[in-house]
A and B are shown apart, each in its own frame.
Chain A
Amino acid sequence: MAGADQIGQAPRRWWERRWIVPLALALATSGWMLAVEGRQGLARDEAQYFRAGERYWGWFETLGEAVRAGKPGRAFARATVDGFWGDNHEHPPLMKTLYGLSWRLFHRCDCAGPKRGLHPIAVHGKHRTLPLFARESTAFRFPAILLAGLGVALVYGFARRFVGPWAAAGAAVLSVAQPHYFFHAQISCFDAPIAVMALLVALAYWKSLRSPRWGILCGVFYGFALATKHNAWLIPCFLLVHYLWIRRNDFRWEPSKGSQTLPRWCAAGGAGGLPTRRFLRLRPPRVPLAFLSMASLGPIVLFALWPWLWHAPVARTREWVQRHTQHEHYNFEYLGQNWNLPPSPKQTGQWLLRATFPFVSTAFTVPVTTLALAAAGTVVLARRRRKSEASDEPSLVNSEPPEPGARASWLRPGADVDLAPGIFLAVQILGPLGILALPSTPIFGGVKHFLPAMPFLAMVAGVGLAWITRQATSLVRPSRLRQALPAALVVLLCLPAVTETQRSHPDGLGHYNLLAGGFAGGASLGMNRQFWGYSVLPLLPWITAHRPPSNHIYWHDVLHDALIMYARDGRLPVAIGDVGVGEPLVAQADLGVVILEKHFAVYEYLHWESYQTTRPAQVYAHEGVPFVVVYQRAALPPRQEPLPP
Chain B
Amino acid sequence: MTAVRCGPVKLSSIFDADSFRRRRLAYACAAGIVVLALVETANALLAPLRAPADRDWRAATAAIRAGFQPGDLIVTAPDWADPLMRMHLGDLIPLAVAGRLDAARFGRIWEIAQRGARAPETEGGHVAQSGRHGALTLRRYERAAARVSFDFVAEWSRATVSRVGLGGQVNWCSPLPDRFECPELPSQSVKPELLEIDTSPHLALSTQPAGQATTVIEFDRVPLGRELAVGAGLHNVWLRKSGKGTVSLRVLVQGRELGRIEAGSLTGWTLRKFDTSALAGQSQSVRFEITVDDPTSRTLGFAAEART
Residues of chain A at the chain B interface (Cβ within 8 Å):
329, 331, 338, 340-341, 347, 350, 367-369, 372-373, 376, 464, 467-468, 471-472, 474-478, 481, 489, 492-493, 495-496, 499-500, 503, 513-514, 517-521, 523-524, 596, 598-599, 601-602, 605, 608-609, 612-619, 621, 623-626, 629
Q: Is the CB of A475 within 8 A of B84?
A: no
Residues of B within 8 A of A618 (CB): 87
Q: How many A-B residue pairs have CB under 8 A?
A: 168
Task: Indicate whether A596 sits within 8 Å of B83 (C-beta atoms), given known contacts A471-B26, A496-B41.
Answer: yes
**Knowing A500-B40, A514-B43, A619-B84 touch, does A608 contact B135 (C-beta < 8 A)?**
no
Please state if B13 and A477 are interface contacts (CB–CB under 8 Å): yes
- The answer to whether A601 touches B13 (Cβ under 8 A) is no
Give B26-50 as 1s and 0s: 1 = Cβ < 8 Å from A's Cβ atoms.
Answer: 1101101110111111011101100
Contact check, B94 vs A614: say whether CB atoms are below 8 A apart: yes
CB-CB under 8 A from A372, the residues of chain B are: 32-33, 36
Evaluate whether A474 and B16 lie within 8 angstroms (CB atoms) in the complex, with A608-B98, A614-B98 already known. yes
Q: Is the CB of A599 within 8 A of B237?
A: yes
Question: Which of B20, B34, B41, B87 touches A475 (beta carbons < 8 Å)?
Answer: B20
| B106 to A: closest C-beta gap in Å | 16
What are 8 inter-chain pairs, A to B, with CB distance below 8 A? A376-B30, A475-B16, A496-B36, A519-B51, A609-B194, A614-B90, A614-B94, A623-B48
- Expressed in whole angstroms, the Cα–Cα distance for A617 and B29 within the complex equals 51
B45 touches A499 (CB 8 A): yes
Please report the C-alpha to C-alpha distance between residue A598 and residue B13 in the assembled complex, in whole angstroms.
60
Interface segment out of the listed B167-175, B196-204, B251-259: B196-204
Give chain A residues whose Cβ lies under 8 Å from the Cβ of B196: 601-602, 605
Q: Which chain B residue lies CB-closest to A502?
A: B44
Contact call A496/B37, Cβ cutoff below 8 A:
yes
In the complex, what distance in Å separates the CA atom of A618 from the CA atom of B90? Answer: 12
Report which of B38, B39, B84, B236 forms a contact with A626, defined as CB distance below 8 A: B84
Interface residues of B in 229-275 (CB under 8 A from A): 236-238, 240-241, 265-266
B40 touches A368 (CB 8 A): yes
Instruction: Chain B residues near A373: list those with CB within 8 A.
Output: 33
B residues with CB within 8 A of A:
13-16, 19-20, 23, 26-27, 29-30, 32-34, 36-41, 43-45, 47-48, 51-52, 78, 80-84, 86-87, 89-91, 93-95, 98-99, 114-115, 117, 135, 193-196, 199-201, 236-238, 240-241, 265-266
Given the contacts A475-B27, A477-B14, A616-B86, A601 and B199 also touching, CB distance less than 8 Å: yes
The interface centre, meaning the residue of A513, A601, A612, A629 with most chain B CB atoms within 10 A of its CB, is A601
Q: List B contacts of A596 (CB < 8 A).
A: 83
B-side binding surface: helix, strand, loop or mixed?
helix
Complexed CA–CA distance, A493 and B37 (Å): 6
Measured between alpha carbons, how far is A350 from B241 in the docked complex, in Å? 16
Q: How far is the CB of B205 from chain A (nearest CB, A)?
A: 15
Given contacts A331-B237, A524-B78, 8 further A-B contacts (CB under 8 A): A341-B241, A372-B36, A477-B16, A496-B36, A598-B199, A609-B194, A616-B83, A619-B84
